[in-house]
Amino acid sequence: MNLFLTGSTGFLGGKLIKNLLQDKQNEVFILVRNIEKAENLRDSFSSSDQRRIHIFQGDITYPMAGLPPEDIEWLTNKIDAVYHLAALVKFDLDLRDELFAANYDGTKHILDLASRLQAKHFYYVSTAYTVGKLTHGAEELYPSNGEFNNPYEESKVKSEHLVFSYRDRMNVSIFRPAIIVGDSKTGEADSQFTLYGFMRALAVFKRKTARRSGGDRTYRLVAAKNGTSNLVPVDYVADILSLAPQKADADKIYHITNPEPPTNYELLQLLKEALDFHSLSVVEHADEQLDEEEIRLNSLVDVFKDYLAGNLSFDDRNTQELLRGTGVAHLDMTEEMIGMIILAGYGDTRKAIL
Ligand SMILES: NC(=O)c1ccc[n+]([C@@H]2O[C@H](COP(=O)([O-])OP(=O)(O)OC[C@H]3O[C@@H](n4cnc5c(N)ncnc54)[C@H](OP(=O)(O)O)[C@@H]3O)[C@@H](O)[C@H]2O)c1
């Protein structure tokens, strides 16, 4: 198949392209804004695989991703399916305009491009956190005027509506991963955001305070102890996306979520151990006022607080159906696996901050 991808230089995209190239019949056409990054990615493959990677420079914030007319002409009628992964993955409230430019306008531009290229299928990678402030996620569209924790979630919900509005032009399916973490076998993760951003913030705080306090006091992090952190390994997400051309139905939404996620308390215990940060304590409510350093700790991880606050559940029956009869098993993420992924991530975090 000829597969067109956005976001291939990102965390998930890097893993997905590897999977897709395992099928020697596949050719991948990647839209990237940074040619050097794309060439480095291509160089990481064998020379026969490299010949099946075609690089196009563009930017999703421009109509038709800014591709020159000759590229559009050349690609027309060649593409079987478009995977749209490129996005700005940040939860900051003050980045609303940038988030909508990349995530909403960007999705519109790629839908228009896919339609112009006469692509038959469009696979949109959204997020399980389009669930916003609801507590149960269903594999269906949420109202676009719901309540959201941040403009990232809102931009993704509105983009999902946009994607479904193109279903008269091509087959569209939506995939909603939860929090993507490292590989289930190696722990490897090429990411500095979400869990890794959180880990880095904790590691920096620990290093700074250890120098001052000598480690003889505790710091309280406020989190719902029994809330859950829905982590999914990057290879599981990429495996499901790779099955899309064979198994995904048009107009369907697929949750790529963990059916039995760890509680925040369990996750924070594992983080404490990995970071050797035993003066960190997790409290449901701060009974006594947080002191200055604790306020700083909590504000460092402020953008993650909505993800530590609740107990969400996600229905993933469409995904279970998609997996039936394939070699990919429904996710069973053990505590050992999560611990291994965290330890591998902490190794990288230490290298980055030291
Ligand atoms: N990571 C998670 O936990 C998570 C969870 C749920 C859903 N998702 C979704 O999964 C998808 C991939 O996420 P990720 O974690 O792989 O993100 P990532 O590592 O930040 O990668 C984002 C990708 O998008 C590209 N991109 C961003 N803006 C662009 C633009 N204006 N034009 C062209 N390309 C642009 C980036 O290119 P550069 O390399 O040039 O920056 C990069 O390849 C996103 O749609 C995200 O919303 C992620």
Residue 23 is part of a domain; what is its CATH number? 3.40.50.720
Report the pLDDT value the prediction gives residue 278, as an integer from 0 to 100: 86
Q: How many residues does the chain have?
A: 354
Q: Choose the weakest-confidence range: 101-110, 118-127, 276-285.
A: 276-285
Kindly state the percentage of the chain with pLDDT values over 70.
98
Q: How many other CB atoms sit within 10 Å of the CB of residue 173?
A: 23
Q: How many other CB atoms sit within 10 Å of the CB of residue 241?
A: 26
186 within some domain: no
Whether the Cβ atoms of residue 109 and residue 154 lie closer than 8 Å to each other: no
The amino acid at 26: N
Q: Are residues 137 and 206 in the same domain?
A: no
Q: Choose the weakest-confidence range: 15-19, 56-60, 209-213, 341-345.
A: 209-213
Q: Which of 88, 152, 180, when mutated, tests ligand 1's pocket best, judged by the most ligand atoms within 8 Å of its CB?
A: 180
Q: How far is the CA of 288 from the centre of ligand 1 (A)?
A: 40
187 within some domain: no
CA distance 154 to 131: 10
Q: How far is the CA of 66 from the centre of ligand 1 (A)?
A: 18
Inform me whether the pLDDT recorded for 354 exceeds 70: no
Ligand 1 atom closest to the Cα of residue 180 is 3
Q: Are residues 172 and 128 in the same domain?
A: yes
Mean pLDDT of 5-30: 97
Mean pLDDT of 72-94: 96
More confident residue, 350 or 94: 94
Total domains in the chain come to 2
Whether the Cβ atoms of residue 12 and residue 6 lie closer than 8 Å to each other: no
Inform me whether the pLDDT recorded for 74 exceeds 90: yes
Per-residue pLDDT tens digits for 308-325:
777 889 999 999 999 999
Structural domain of 349: 194-229+261-311+334-353
CA distance 246 to 3: 13
Which stretches of the chain are assigned E, i.e. beta strand?
2-6, 27-32, 53-57, 81-84, 121-125, 136-137, 171-177, 179-181, 219-222, 231-233, 253-256, 280-283, 313-314
Q: Are residues 198 and 343 in the same domain?
A: yes
Interior angle at CA 8, CA 187 and CA 16, nearest 5: 50
82 within some domain: yes
Which residue reads 């676009």 in tokens? 144
Inform me whether the pLDDT recorded for 349 exceeds 80: no
CA atoms within 13 A on the CB side of 90: 12
Whether the Cβ atoms of residue 20 and residue 3 lie closer than 8 Å to each other: yes
Q: How far is the CA of 80 from the centre of ligand 1 (A)?
A: 22
